[in-house]
Structure 1
Amino acid sequence: MNGSPNKGRDRRSGRPKGDPASGATRVNARSFRPRIDRSLEVYATRILTERDRNICHNLYEHHVLTTKQLWDLHFTFTNPRVARRRLLKLYEARILDRFRPHRDKWGSHPIHYIMDEIAIRIVAADRAIDPKRIRYRVQRDRDLAKSSRLNHLVETNGFFTTLVRACLTAGDHQLSEWWGEERCAAEWRGSLEAPLVRPDGQAVVGSPTGTCRFVLELDRGTERGDRLSHKLHQYQLIGGSDDSPDALIFLFPSLDREVNARRHLNVPTGMSVATSHPELFEGDPLGAIWLPVGAERRVPLIRLPGRNS
């Protein structure tokens, strides 16, 4: 077979070229997608690489990732155009699906990628999971396009993908064990099956000088101070145990919010508690940007273990 079986379709919408509606970009335009037949399955299998397979598993774990986030994870040392072309090819082969959320004001949101049918089959086979179960989950991922949860999820995923890129660029750091919110909640269930804590994510950063296993609370400036204190009391339930994280980090939306929120974080948890804000994090993710509770100087993430709060 020469090339994609969908060469006669518009690259954006999936409709046949020349169709009057081929420029449509609505996120719910499901009828625009090419039907999966034997030729498409063969084509998808032929072009699939190990990197593509890893992308499928990333989307299974973290639901939705933007073009920039996938570039950070899998195309770090290539031109962004390479990432865009490859992701488009995976979209055309129905390995991935995508949407662009509506924006009321000027400009546009980035393209957001989720799993499509071929990715569902790949992950189901690799993890020995019923494909029907994953299809149900993916339908909920599609619904994120119109959900208020989308922004928080994308910002959280962006934190970790930025950290991954920083580790790869540094060369002597590595990020591993990136868990999303659902995985964290499942790992720390109480006796009544309700999660003891529900952080936005967890990961381990390692370097030649040590490692730090941390959990993230990404604050969007909407929670009252007493709510922040309550969260720390919840973290007391896992702090100090053999499998507890080394650090609990809060990323606040601004320096002012960070300063005001820190007044409510003087609750012992059995782990280091530290804060920062996006201006510092985006400037130097691995640098001395985290301010432990009770301290006066910021330190790198890797130096947080042992600074118990």
Structure 2
Amino acid sequence: MPRDRWLIELLGEHQVFTTEQVAALCFDHLHTARNRLVLLNQRGILARFRDGVRPGSQQWRWTLDLIGLAYLAARADQPAPKPATVRQRVNRLATSPKLGHLLGVNGFFVDLAAHARTTPGAELSVWWSERTCRTVTGELVRPDGHGVWTEHGTTVSFWLEWDQGTEQAHRVASKLDGYADLHRATGLNHLVLVWAPTPARETSLRSRLARHPAVASGTLTVATGAGGTTEHPAGPVWAPATGTGDRVRLARLATHRAG
């Protein structure tokens, strides 16, 4: 099915989704998504895993299995992967300490894509993984993702920094050095979005980000948002780092773009 191929390609780029993320991306009902995912798993196209906890208390995580990876390899005119290699890949992903971060980043973009599905005039036309970002940014900076969002004729391009609150605020702010270097080297004028886990963390980060020379001088446009809200990231959740703190929709950040 075309939807299955699209999902395989998305997983080839973004590695892993939860059941609810897949449902939000391309199904109208969670039950339908579950049934289709189980079928794709039974046919060796998708693999699934979750922590060893009480059954039903954690969503399945879905990634590509042997046939799904072989499909992508054939499309790229590459050798098919070996079963043992695929199993090692799934096991590494399931036990990776970065899994929560990866699911969080993917969830951010899934929320945008899901909103676009039901909102006329909205579109997430570009969604890059960290790996694809590095083909453009090299060693200058390591964004967690890149997106191009359009709503009602207004388009914004952005880099995403998904903050988990595990780094000191000054270390997060220091990442703007790399974005400033990238801006000077390439002329790319993308927004830098910093998503914090809590409002308190966001407040701490904003004060640091606003004082960064590249932000204060207008070289970079940085905006912050935080978890703990029912609003999706396309909505009025973004506060420009040098602004008054008023929240605007993602598309409205285009009016705050630096020169």
Q: TM-score, normalised by structure 1?
A: 0.76
Alignment-derived partner of residue 88 in structure 2:
139
Provide the aligned length of Structure 1 versus Structure 2.
252
Aligned to 2:98: 149
Candidates 279, 291, 300, aligned match of 2:239: 291
1:73 deviation in Å? 1.2
In structure 1, the partner of 2:108 is 159
Mapped partners of 1:113, 1:106: distance in 2: 16
- Of residues 110-119 and 283-292 in structure 1, the stretch that sits farther from structure 2 once superposed is 283-292
SS in 2 for 1:202: strand
* Bigger Rg, which one: 1
Residue 80 (structure 1) shift: 0.9
Match of 1:179 among 118, 128, 132: 128
CA contact under 8 A between 2:173 and 2:205: conserved in structure 1? no
- 1:303 matched to 2:247: no
Over residues 44-90 of structure 1, what are the superposed CA-to-partner deviations in whole Å (9 max), with x where a residue is unaligned? xxxxx111111111111011111111111111xx2211111011111
Matched residues, percent identical?
34
- What is residue 108 of structure 1 aligned with on the other side? 57
Gaps of 5+ in 2: none
Q: Distance in 1 between matches of 2:133 and 2:83?
A: 19
Structure 2 Cα separation of the partners of residues 154 and 50 of structure 1: 24
Structure 2 Cα separation of the partners of residues 96 and 169 of structure 1: 27
CA contact (8 A) 2:45 2:66 kept: yes
Partners of 1:197 and 1:221 in 2: CA distance: 19
State the partner residue of 1:217. Answer: 161
Structure 1: state its 5+ residue gaps: 1-48, 190-194
- By relative contact order (CA 8 Å, sep 6+), the higher-ranking structure is 2
Alpha-carbon distance between aligned partners in 1 of 2:147 and 2:125, rounded to the nearest angstrom: 6
**Counterpart Cα distance in 1 of 2:109 and 2:172:** 22
- Shift, 1:246, TM fit: 2.3
Cα RMSD for the two superposed structures: 2.2
Is the counterpart of residue 91 in structure 1 residue 91 in structure 2? no
Contact 1:202 1:216 in 2 (8 A): yes
Moved more, 54-63 or 221-230: 221-230
**Cα 1:135–1:52, aligned 2, differ >3 Å: closer, same or farther?**
farther
Residues 271 and 131 of structure 1: is their aligned pair in 2 closer, same or farther, counting only changes over 3 Å? farther
Which of 190, 193, 213 is matched with 1:246 structurally? 190
**TM, length-normalised to structure 2:** 0.89
Per-residue CA deviations over 1:167-223 (Å, capped at 9, x if unaligned) read 11212100022111111112211xxxxx21111111111123311111111101111
Question: How has the CA–CA distance of structure 1 residues 208 and 241 changed in structure 2, closer, same or farther, with 3 Å as cutoff?
Answer: farther
SS at match of 1:142: helix
Q: Secondary structure at the match of 1:217?
A: strand
Secondary structure of the residue that 1:81 maps to in structure 2?
helix
Task: State the AA in 2 paired with 1:58.
Answer: L
